[in-house]
Amino acid sequence: MASISVTGTMSDQDTVTRLKITAQDAERAWDEWGCNCGPAALAAVVGVSLDTVRPHMGNFEAKRYTNPTLMWAALRSLGVQFSFRGGDLGRENWPAYGLARIQWEGPWMKTGVPVRARYRHTHWVGVNSRDPLNVGIFDVNALGNGTGWCDVMDWVGAIVPWILKECEPKADGRWHITHAVEIAQ
C-alpha cells in the first residue's frame, strides 16, 4: 500500500483529531489482513482504529473488497446510525459527513458488461462536507500528509490521478459517486 502526500487541510479540527489511523497502522493492516480503502475510510469517519474495525468487516479478509452490503453490515455491527443515497450521484453529491463510494469509469461501464464487473473498480473515501466551501476527503492513499484528510480539490488533482495510474490503468479518467452514506453524529 502506497501513501502520497497532499498539503490540503481540513477546517473541521474535530474530524482530524478523531482520526485513529497512521500511515504505519495502514501499512501493518495491509500486510496482516489486506486492509484497504473501505475499512480505512470507515475507521476514519467513525473515529476508531483499524484493529477495532477489523472484526466488524465480515468476510472482507477473504474478498479483499468492501461492497455496499458489507459496508452497511460493518456500520450496523459498530452500532453506527446511518442513511444512504445510491445511484449515479455525479461528482458533487457528497454526504454532509460520512462515506462515499466512488465508481471509476472505464470499459467495465459499457452496456452489456455485468454490473458485478463494476464493483472491482470502486473506492471508498471518508467525507466531511458540513462546510460546503471546504469539502474534506479522507483517503487512505493520502495518509502521507499525516491525517489522510485533504481538500476535495487536492484529492481530485493529486490523489485521483495517482489511483487511476497505479490501480486502474484501464480507467478513462472519469468517476462518479455511487453511494453517499450519512453518518449520524
Encoded amino acid at 76, one letter: R
User: What per-residue confidence (pLDDT) applies to 14?
Assistant: 54
The per-residue DSSP string of 48-77 comes to --HHHHGGGSTTHHHH-S--HHHHHHHHHH
Neighbouring residues of 7: CB distance < 8 A, sequence distance ≥ 6: 145, 150, 154
Q: What pLDDT is attached to residue 109?
A: 92
Question: What pLDDT is stored for residue 11 in this prediction?
Answer: 45
- Mean pLDDT per segment of 10 residues, for the chain of length 185 residues? 45 56 93 96 95 95 93 96 92 94 95 89 94 89 92 95 90 94 90
State which H helix or E strand residue 171 sits in.
Answer: none
Tell me, what's the pLDDT at 18?
Answer: 64
pLDDT score recorded for residue 116: 86
The pair phi, psi for residue 106, each rounded to 5°, is 180, -160
Give the residues across from 181 on adjacent strands. 84, 99
Contact 74, 53 (CB under 8 A): yes
For residues 4 and 142, is the Cβ–Cβ distance under 8 A? yes
pLDDT score at 52: 96
Element (H, E) at 128: strand 122-128
Dihedral over Cα of 154, 101, 139, 121: its sign? negative
Q: Report how far residue 37's alpha carbon sits from residue 78's, in angstroms, rounded to the nearest whole number.
A: 17
For residue 86, report the phi and psi dihedrals to the nearest 5 degrees. -135, 165
State how far the Cα of 6 lies from the Cα of 69, in Å rounded to an integer.
Answer: 31
Residues paired with residue 104 on neighbouring β-strands, in sequence order: 175
Calpha distance 100→107 (Å, rounded): 22
